[in-house]
Amino acid sequence: MPELPDIVVYIEALEKRILHQTLDQVRLVSPFLLRTADPPLRAVEGKRVRELRRIGKRIAIGMEDELWLVLHLMIAGRLHWRDRGVKVARPHGLAAFDFPNGSLLLTEAGSKKRASLHVLRGEDGLKKVDPGGLEVLSANLKTFSAALTKENHTLKRSLTDPRTFSGIGNAYSDEILFEAKLSPVQLTQKMKPEEIERLYKAIRATLSRWVEMLREQTGDGFPEKVTAFRPEMAVHGRFKEPCIRCGAPIQRIRYADNETNYCANCQLGGRLLADRGLSRLMREDWPRTLDELEALTAK
């Protein structure tokens, strides 16, 4: 799922192309994409784009007459800038937004169509799709600490909860926790003040670094290679590859559609996290440390 750095770069690329342009037509191919009926989708046609805004992991396009188009790409949704009138081809094409200078094409890979489009009116309408998570890049340490410790959850859950923090998902939470040298399952209300400060700095450093990196990679083009798995990442998507700090193999636990990647040495003092499925299957044979894992795989 595109997260804060990806959404920021998407918006910057869109600002160069559609800000102050008139949206001539919306060609909707998938009726399941549109999640609202009032205002109607046709109400935005003929209106100029007056601003773009990020709301968590959503892209909000502000139109004249206080109308908003809000796109949530979910896991597999992607945006593409194409020549005006580009064909919206099934099964991946969902919609096209035609401007005088080109068309914004929305696609979604896979069979599960989760991407969404909302047409909303005014700031009150925007509030309905805003989860309300804290913007850490503009928050101070005290505000961050209060949000983090308001409830007692694991760090992985807290970081990826859009009601707690804005724009952070599965991929960048792994990178943040590696940067902070903290366990994904550490409980927020058990954290020491120095650990909270370390996490705060890690979030700001990691997200800022990735925004700059993606900006440099995109240049004046359009971000066409948005992915959760990038070769420059330290842990996410690097299962069994050597840690860039200590050389130990990166570990992974999976749950439903998500996975957590971590370094057992750097983040847990050599301990392994129990994968729910495998640990239940293996029970007492499940390795607890890297040394036990190495002994097991060497047999």
Tell whether 289 and 183 lie within a shared domain. yes
Q: Are residues 171 and 195 in the same domain?
A: yes
Domain of 245?
A: 136-298
Q: What local confidence, expressed as pLDDT, does residue 292 receive?
A: 46
* Amino acid identity, position 173: S
Does 254 or 265 have the greater pLDDT score?
A: 265
Residue where a domain stops, chosen among 127, 162, 196: 127
Q: Which of 64, 92, 66 is nearest to 80 (CA)?
A: 92
pLDDT of 287 over the 50 cut: no
Considering the domain architecture, whether residues 154 and 106 belong to the same structural domain is answered as no
Q: What's the CATH number where 187 sits?
A: 1.10.8.50
Which of 103, 127, 151 corresponds to the end of one domain? 127
Are both 146 and 284 inside the same structural domain? yes
Residues 69 and 10 placed together within one structural domain of the fold: yes
pLDDT digits (tens, 9 = 90+) for 161-212: 999 999 999 999 999 999 999 999 999 999 999 999 999 999 999 999 999 9
Q: How many domains does the chain have?
A: 2
- Cβ–Cβ < 8 Å for 248, 255: no
pLDDT of residue 294: 46
pLDDT at 111: 79
Determine how many CB atoms are found less than 10 A away from the CB of residue 177: 28
| pLDDT for the residue 298 | 40
Q: Indicate the pLDDT class of residue 254, thresholds 50, 70 and 90.
A: confident
Percent of the chain scoring above 70 in pLDDT: 91
pLDDT at 275 over 90: no
DSSP string, 154-220: BHHHHHH-TTTBSS--HHHHHHHHHHHT--TT-BGGG--HHHHHHHHHHHHHHHHHHHHHHHHHHTT
User: Among 100, 127, 154, where does a domain finish?
Assistant: 127
Axis-axis angle for helices 141-149, 193-218 (nearest 10): 110
pLDDT digit string, tens, across residues 16-28 = 999 999 999 999 9
Task: Identify whether residues 151 and 289 lie together within a single domain.
Answer: yes
In the prediction, which pLDDT does 288 show? Answer: 55
My answer on whether 19 and 109 are in the same domain is yes
Cα dist from 147 to 56, 132, 133, 141, 174, whole Å? 16, 11, 9, 10, 19
Which percentage of the chain shows pLDDT scores above 90? Answer: 86
Q: What is the CATH number of the domain that holds 27?
A: 3.20.190.10
